[in-house]
Structure 1
Amino acid sequence: MTRRIDGTAVARRIRAEVASEVARLHPDPSTAPGLATILVGDDPASAVYVAAKRKAVREAGMQDLHVSLPAEATQAEVAGVIDRLAQDPVVSGILLQLPLPAGLESGALINRIPPSKDVDGLTTASAGLLARDQPGLRPCTPAGVIELLDSEGVTIEGAKACVVGRSDLVGRPMGQMLLNRDATVTVAHKETRDLISATREADILVVATGVQGLIGREHVKPGATVIDVGIHRTPTGLTGDVRAEELEGFAKCLTPVPGGVGPMTIAMLMVNTLRAAQWAVAVP
């Protein structure tokens, strides 16, 4: 039988551990770590995502420091908010919700976030720390994947790993994290000429393409661990980048959609916010 990796349970445990640590270190709520979320515009999906993150912050006993800006906000206005939050000692972490309205340059704005407060792990400086395998805040979704692999006792060291997708949010940092854990890593993408040859050798296959049902049995090594990062809404419910039904009894482990990688993203955001606060105190 293929074992389903229960991301909901792992995320619940991690969030409870964060809440416990916050309560232990900050009996006075006014000193608790603070996460500043910035929402520009009124995109419905972004509003839902930010609301879920803010709820998790409050449940963890941390300070919910939200800033909402109109869709008409200029580059300079958003930059000014980020600069103000960067200087505020109450703010442990800063999250700029993406995508931004047309006309705003997200890369330039993200790079205004200090690496020490970059809880999404998306700044160029954070990417450099990851590439050098130096301490820093890591992108939440790939960090969550590593937690899931560890929770299942999947051996990363020495394994052949393939990441399908090369986005800055998931694919690129995912490949680097696996490499930093001593896996032999292949990163495949839309220009890969023989995708099956790239994926079929992998002991660990992480799929993050945004292409519904791209990966099936023909792509997977028997006994592999398959992590499906994709999520798509269909008339019959949510599904991923992997044709999961084809892997039953074939793959060793598989993350379900929903309930696999998804819950881990917010859990690791809570971890990053607490870690940022702890590092800020540790800096002389």
Structure 2
Amino acid sequence: TLPVVDPATLAGPAIPAVFPHFVDGGGWSSQIMLINPGNSATSGTLRFADPAGQPISSLEYSIPPRGVQHFVTPGTGEAVRMGTVAIVPSPNMPWPGGLLIFSYTKSDIRVTEAGVPVSAVGTAFRVYVEASDATQSGIAIMNTTANPANVRIELMDLNGASLAATTIAVRANAQLAAFLTEIPGLQNLSLPIQGLLRITSASAIAVIGLRGRTNERGDFLITTTPPVAEDGSSSPELFFPHFVDAGGFTTQFILFSNGSNGPLGGTIRFLSQSGQPLDVKVR
């Protein structure tokens, strides 16, 4: 899936705009698309950093009004490099929107790819996770501040009961990227697991969920899963703009609380492409 850029939610002057995960080398490469939805040109710098927060490289961008600029990492070498990307506009320039796509290619065949949006920055997030022999969830967390941050990671089951918790120190502008059973303090979990990760920090952080699966052919496939901010806000109606069922396809729906007090309840309505009600059996 690819994220959609909403011009109304572009980062303001005091809010960092970051991609909390990119990967390059060892068959992996990353594409970055920057989108200028405004009527004025914009320019700035893309700053790449390693997981320790140390600068790797930077690229200048200059985007005409309502234009797009595309960047691709080299993808060369056997070593896998990963880290974060920060968007830094030039003084008095508007912020661009954007998305990042990282992909894995083997023998000139693209095996898998996943999209990363410009990520929201906050202090508390929840993300659905699971781990089994074939499927492994993960996270990428970026400390977007210039000071070290203590990040608490709590694993809860589907009933909201705490299973395990750990606190990890993340350096200034640094990244923690790991699958669930690789996170320090969570390595000894009993599989299989389904639940939520609650990620909190007193400092501003950006988060993206990861979901990897090894298919029946032995290919490693990966996608991203969006985190939900614990901001207490809610909408009377939410939508999934696409689902598919039958013909070899299935859709999994994950509903969970964003931290609001009290139980939640409601109705899921399935609609056809013409807007008519659909009778869909779920379990």
Whose strand proportion is higher, 1 or 2? Answer: 2
TM-score interval, normalised by the smaller of the two chains: under 0.3
TM-score where L is the length of structure 2 = 0.26
If asked which structure has higher relative contact order (CA below 8 Å, sep 6+), I would say 1
Say which structure is richer in helix: 1
